Structure 1
Amino acid sequence: MIIATTVLETAQGEFSVSTHGTEGSPERCLTISQGYLGAAGTVVRLHSSCIFGEALSACDCDCGPQLATAMQEVDKRGSGTIVYLYQEGRGAGLDLKIQGMERQRIKGINSYQAYESLGLPRDMRDYSLAGTALADLGFAKTVTLMSNNPTKRSALERLGYVVESQFALSYTVSQRAYDYLKMKQVEGEHSLDFDKIDFVH
């Protein structure tokens, strides 16, 4: 169900923002939307929170640039939504994410290896609340997915959506994020197109 809604002016355009939840649960997610959402093929992104990349402009990840670019894409199309899920650290939570980052820093390992060294799965995210949010918005059952992550496509399909097309975003990111993105491409099987990513120093 929709808990609260307002209109937000941003650098990427004007959006309707809503919080969503289910009866008896404190868990929430946010949708950032524009336009009519009931047409087949409407664009959607499932986006997990990343306080370091989005609020603190961390150079080692691409979360902030991806969020801003996804909002620009929705604004350009005039319709679509970003489902913003509070799943810090691929669902591990902020404390464990920081512990994993410290192991990466000290041992020179990647984030997947750091999670494994902590006895954690590589990815613990649950996308079920995204299904609630999309239903709340009257979203079409056939969608276009903004993502390079194959697990997000699978998640939407498990929720009953048909992904008619999927595309990776084009954005600018720090050169320091290259190794992280390469890891996602090689180990996480993300469909990253490095020709569409502008790395800057």
Structure 2
Amino acid sequence: MIIAATVLETAHGKFRVSTHGVEGSPERCLTMSQGDLSEPGTVIRLHSSCIFGEALLACDCDCGPQLATAMQEVNRRGSGAIVYLYQEGRGAGLDLKIEGMERQRLRGINSYQAYDSLGLPRDLRDYSLAGEALNDLGVAKAVTVMSNNPTKLKALEELGYTIQSQFALSYEVSQRAYDYLLMKQVEGDHSLDFGKINFVG
């Protein structure tokens, strides 16, 4: 259900923003949306929070550019929705994310290997609340997805959505973030389109 809603003007356009939850649970997510979402093929993105990439502008992360570009794409189309999930560190939480980062720094390993060394699954995210939020917004059951993550596509299908189409976002990243994306492609089966990702600096 929608807990609270307003309209927010951002650098990337004006969006309806709302928080969503289920009765009896403190868990929340946020949506940013525009336009009529009931049309088949509505563009959506499931986006997980990343304080380092979005607020602190970490050089080895592409989360900030992904979110900004997704908002720009919704604004360009005039309709669409982004579900912002509070799932730091692929659902592990901020503390374990930082522990993993320290192991990466000291051992020269990647983030998947760091999670393995902590005895954690590589991805602990749960997308059930995203399904509730999309339903709250009246999003069509046939959607266009802004993502390169096969796990998100599978989750949407399990929630009853049909993936009408999928496309990778186009944005700029640093060399360190580019290396991270290569790792996600090789070890995480992400369907990246490197022709759309510009390397800077």
The TM-score range, normalised by the shorter chain, is: over 0.9
Q: Which residue of structure 2 lines up, in the alignment, with residue 99 of structure 1?
A: 99
- Indicate the residue corresponding to 2:88 in structure 1: 88
The alpha carbon displacement at 1:126 in A equals 0.1
- For 1:193 and 1:140, the matched residues in 2 are separated by 26
Gaps of 5+ in 1: none
Aligned pairs (5 A) from 1:2-151: 2-151=2-151
Secondary structure of residue in 2 paired with 1:89: helix
CA distance in structure 2 between the aligned counterparts of 1:62 and 1:181, rounded to whole angstroms = 8
- Alignment partners' CA distance in 1, 2:176 and 2:163: 32
Aligned twin of 2:157: 157
Query: 2:175, 2:9 → 1: CA distance?
Result: 30
d(CA) in 2 for partners of 1:30 and 1:147? Answer: 18
Aligned counterparts of 2:58 and 2:9: Cα–Cα separation in 1:
24
1:186 aligns to 2:189 (yes or no): no
Q: Secondary structure of the equivalent of 1:45? A: strand
* TM-score, length of structure 1 as denominator length: 0.99
Which residue identity does 1:83 align to in structure 2? V
Which whole-Å deviations, capped at 9, do the CAs of 1:20-49 have from their partners, x for residues lacking one? 000000000000100010000000000000
Q: Give the structure 2 partner of residue 169 of structure 1.
A: 169
Q: Give the letter for the 2:65 counterpart.
A: P
1:160 offset after TM fit, Å?
Answer: 0.2
Amino acid at match of 1:94: L
One-letter amino acid matched to 1:191: S
CA distance in structure 1 between the aligned counterparts of 2:21 and 2:155, rounded to whole angstroms: 18
Secondary structure of 1:5's counterpart equals strand
CA–CA separation in structure 2 for the residues paired with 1:105 and 1:125: 24
CA distance in 2, matches of 1:10, 1:175: 28
Using the alignment, how far apart are the partners of 2:116 and 2:96 within structure 1?
A: 12
Measure, in 1, the Cα distance between the counterparts of 2:136 and 2:88: 23
Counterparts of 1:188 and 1:174, CA distance in 2: 20
**Uncovered stretches (5+) of structure 2, i.e. residues with no partner:** none
- Show structure 1 runs of 4+ deviating over 6 A: none
Q: Percent identity?
A: 82
Deviation at 1:145, TM superposition (A): 0.3
Aligned length: 201
66-75 vs 190-199, which moves further: 190-199
Q: Classify the secondary structure of the residue corresponding to 2:143.
A: strand
Partners of 2:110 and 2:132 in 1: CA distance: 33
Counterpart AA for 2:54: E
> Deviations 1:100-127 (Å, cap 9, x if unpaired)?
0000000000000000000000000000
Question: CA separation in 1, counterparts of 2:106 and 2:68?
Answer: 31
- Give the TM-score normalised by structure 2: 0.99
Deviations 1:163-187 (A, max 9, x none): 0100000001111212110010000
